Amino acid sequence: MTDVTLTVHRATDQIGGNCIEIATQRGRVLLDVGRPLDAPGGATGLLPKSLDLVAPVDGVLISHPHQDHYGLLEETPAQWPVFCGEATAALIKLTSGIFGVPIERDFRRWQSGETLAVGPFSVMPYLTDHSAFDAHMLLIEVGGKRIFYSGDFRIHGRKSKLVERIMAEPPSDIDVLLMEGTNLGSDKPSMSEGDLEADFVSLFRETKGRVFVAWSAQNIDRTVTLYRACLKTGRTLVVDLYTAEVLEKLAAFGKLPQPDWSAMKVVVTSAFARMYRRKGEEAFVARMVPHGMSAKKLAADPEKWVVMVRPSLVRDYEPAGVRPNSDDAWCWSMWRGYLKNEDGVRLQEWFERGGARAAHIHTSGHASPSDLRAFAKSLNPRCMVPIHGVAWDAEVDGFPPIQRLRDGEPLVI
């Protein structure tokens, strides 16, 4: 029997920046090549030093389209084949094209529930519930060993049933469970998106003026939650061009709110429109104009609008005369920690100056500590390798037997 070696090059003691290698004498695959969340913008040369860049790789498997899982892809040799879900490929290409350098390399797409062969490895992707669209868990089989990678997941989002299904009928004989633990040692909220929807409905009803909401354009569950709350309260969800493009690109993958739906409008701001035109995407801007509105319109009928906000949009809203006032409310619908960043502080000040009422309505993209334990227990692996967390050392109780590794330390399975 061949030896199977597992090396977590990065993420044994931090959240994100995942880079994991499974190798045998016959080949190797990587699970994610993420950018560390604390890496300074624009920094390069961030691939873990323990990762061999010379020996061939059969596949880089990208679990989902979050930077901390794919952000160093362009630093890996171009001949390494990349595999991911179809929507993941679309989102990565879209985001890199708009905000950075376009990723030109070819992505091979997998289908959830269909086994694919990657060199000597057999890979089974499972669509999962996470704040990123098209997130997957992966079962990798090689040399008679079975390794299950949780990727990032939760059990309280709009796709929770997918994870419950895996737990009800778990794959058998798992040798190693590579398990994320983002929310260990934290008390981040983990209510359902349905609960959030009810909170938004109340906020929209209680507010006389506009409700500004800061959320991630790629958190599709949240966009759906906001759209549904708008429908229930007779408001219109105003999104920016980037969010509209994300929704348009994902239309093929599910019934998601679209720019031409009745309770949605696209705010066509000058800076964003300029940027799209510079990237040669005039056609997209032109396509959005019939469903669009100028920021100036947000001054009239304030009780109608739920408006997407973030610092870059404020720069466009200000000159159009959009300024928060005491009739308005604003809601931070992301992790509270981001509010302490320079951008978050500036946004908060903008609303405080105007006297808008503040709300924080959010739920984590990751499983609660009790859900993590329940998931690990149901998989019943021979051993578990903790990753993507900062509190694993204090939180081993209630988990299957743990094999604690350091970054770059190989484990022969």
Q: Nearest 5°: phi and psi at 172?
A: -90, 170
Q: Nearest distance from residue 17's CB to Zn ion, in Å?
A: 8
* 212 phi/psi in degrees, rounded to 5: -95, 135
**Least gap, CB of 370 to Zn ion (angstroms):** 20
SS3 (DSSP) at 20: strand
Whichever of 162 and 413 has its CB closer to Zn ion, that residue is 162
Q: Which is nearer to Zn ion, 83 or 133 (CB)?
A: 133
One residue of 13, 32, 58, 68 binding Zn ion per CB under 5 A:
68
Q: Please report, as residue ranges, which positions from 272 to 311 form the binding site for Zn ion (by CB under 5 A).
A: none
Q: CB of 202: closest distance to Zn ion in angstroms?
A: 29
Virtual torsion, Cα 306, 308, 314, 315, nearest 10 deg = -130
Distance CA(1)–CA(24), nearest Å, equals 10
Residue 76 CB, shortest distance to Zn ion, in Å, is 18
Q: How many CB atoms are located within 10 Å of the residue 322 CB?
A: 23
Name the minimum Å distance from CB 166 to Zn ion. Answer: 17
Tell me which of 16, 257, 292, 369 binds Zn ion, using CB under 5 A: 16
Q: Are 373 and 398 in contact (CB under 8 A)?
A: yes
Phi, psi of 64 (to 5 degrees): -165, 160
Count of residues engaged in binding Zn ion, rule: CB under 5 A = 5
Q: Which is nearer to Zn ion, 16 or 85 (CB)?
A: 16
Complex with Zn ion: residue 157 or 292, whichever CB lies closer: 157
- Minimum CB separation of residue 15 from Zn ion in Å reads 7
Element housing 118 (H / E): strand 116-118
Q: Report the residue number, 58 or 68, with the smaller CB distance to Zn ion.
A: 68
Nearer to Zn ion, 16 or 292 (CB): 16
CA distance 102 to 132: 20
Among 9, 10, 35, 66, binds Zn ion (CB under 5 A): 66
For residue 202 the two structure tokens come to: 């109340």
Per-residue binding string, Zn ion, 137-166, x by CB under 5 A, is ---------------x--------------
Q: Between residue 217 and residue 246, which ones bind Zn ion under the rule CB under 5 A?
A: none
Q: Which is nearer to Zn ion, 63 or 233 (CB)?
A: 63
For residues 183 and 368, the answer to whether their CB atoms sit within 8 Å is yes
DSSP assignment of 150-181 equals --S--SSSTTHHHHHHHHHSPPS--SEEEEE-
Angle at 134 between CA 251 and CA 31, to 5 degrees: 150
- Nearer residue to Zn ion within complex by CB, 35 or 66: 66
Report whether 389 contacts 372 (CB < 8 A): no
Report the alpha-carbon distance of residue 376 to residue 258 in Å, rounded: 37
DSSP H helices, 56-211, are 67-70, 86-99, 160-168, 193-206
Q: Rule CB under 5 A: say whether 248 interacts with Zn ion.
A: no
Q: State in angstroms the smallest separation of the CB of 178 from Zn ion.
A: 13
Nearer to Zn ion, 36 or 324 (CB): 36
CB of 182 to Zn ion, least distance (A): 7
Based on CB atoms, which residue is closest to Zn ion, 82 or 132? 132
Beta bridge partners of 176: 147, 383
Residues 105-144: x/- map of binding to Zn ion (CB under 5 A)? ---------------------------x------------
Least separation in angstroms between CB 170 and Zn ion? 22
Give the binding range for Zn ion (CB under 5 A) out of 58-66, 188-196, 237-245, 247-255: 58-66
Beta carbons of 35 and 42 less than 8 angstroms apart: no
Min separation Cβ 106 and Zn ion, Å: 23
Q: Which stretch binds Zn ion (CB under 5 A): 13-21, 214-222, 265-273, 307-315?
A: 13-21
Strand segments, DSSP code E, in 251-395 are: 264-267, 292-293, 305-308, 329-332, 357-359, 383-387
Residues that bind Zn ion (CB under 5 A): 16, 66, 68, 132, 152
